Amino acid sequence: MAERFTSVKKVLVTDNASPRCRETLVAAGLEVVQNDKMSKEELMAAVKEYDALIVRSATKVTEEILQSGDRLKIVGRAGTGVDNIDVAAASKKGVAVMNTPTANTVSAAEQTCVLFMTLARHTPAADASMKAGKWDRKKFMGTELYGKTAVIIGLGHIGREVALRLQAFGMKTVGFDALVPAEETKKFGVDQMPLKDLWAVADYISVHVPLLPQTKGMIGKETFAACKPGLRVINCARGGIIDNDALLAALEDGQCGGAALDVFENEPPTGVEQTIVQHPKVIACPHLGASTVEAQLRVAQEIADQIVDASQGKSLKGIINCRQLGL
């Protein structure tokens, strides 16, 4: 089955992917062009000449762009989430979509834990106060993570690593995953419970699921109402999993004691999301989960290796639409 990709010879790399990606592809004998700043129209015109396209999160690979790719056989995502790629349209056209699901696991897990700690100890606000020339210790009284309960929604690679790190702080970790069996998550210290039973025990909720129709807005008005007052929420997964209107209302009435957000439905955020970013109980970051030197080297290396292997008929590793393509 891998033989169908042996005609891949020419690759377009976008979105400031690490030079490691281009170097690996070139070393394997592929022709590579890296163009990091392309408009939609420019990409539509350029993609006609390439067999494979590599993107990070900025470039939106729409049906229109896919249809322009007369030679296109692979779209590679240097990272985990593929919500910037129209996978259904790619499958219909016979284009394989690849990702690197584990390459940024450690960086995303560490960023999540940073946000747990900064929520608990008000670190960004205290730092801003100091830089303004103030010395206000009482204003920034925090709480310990020790003894608190973290509810982790999504117990795949990142959820698992988050749980292990939070356990080192003495937190109790419980959660839910629709795909990972309870006996598996118990091995790394997470007892699974039905969603409806989780909310009442949560001191913190951290989400680690993809943005799908069934996960969009899953942390909403009813969820906040079912939680104890002062709940804190963390989202390093995808914007839209926490309902924005429900979050803002919960922050305003005190039901939510704080939120740390690394991702947004619109990036950069606009409208109600911008209002949330400005809220004094919110810590906001510009999608930094995978923004480490190590993670970017890793995703660049892995997506390049996968495309090289496919072009040499060796492996179909990383293709997420194998079933739709009949592979």
Residue with tokens 């993107």: 55
Number of alpha carbons in the 13 Å side-chain half-sphere of residue 1: 10
- CB of 67 closer than 8 Å to CB of 44: no
Distance CA 232, CA 254 (A): 10
**Cα separations in angstroms, 321 against 60, 145, 318:** 18, 40, 9
Q: Could you give phi then psi for residue 52, rounded to 5 degrees?
A: -145, 150
Distance CA 138, CA 126 (A): 10
Distance CA 198, CA 179 (A): 17
Beta strands across the sheet bearing 204-207: 191-192, 172-176, 149-153, 204-207, 231-235, 256-261, 282-284
Tokens describing residue 45: 């015109």
The catalytic residue positions are 238, 267, 287
Parallel, antiparallel or unpaired: strands 282-284 and 74-77 = unpaired
Distance CA 51, CA 221 (A): 46
Beta bridge partners of 80: none
Query: What DSSP letter does each residue of 245-265 carry, written as one string?
Result: HHHHHHHHHTSEEEEEES--S
User: What is the H or E stretch that residue 103 is in?
Assistant: none
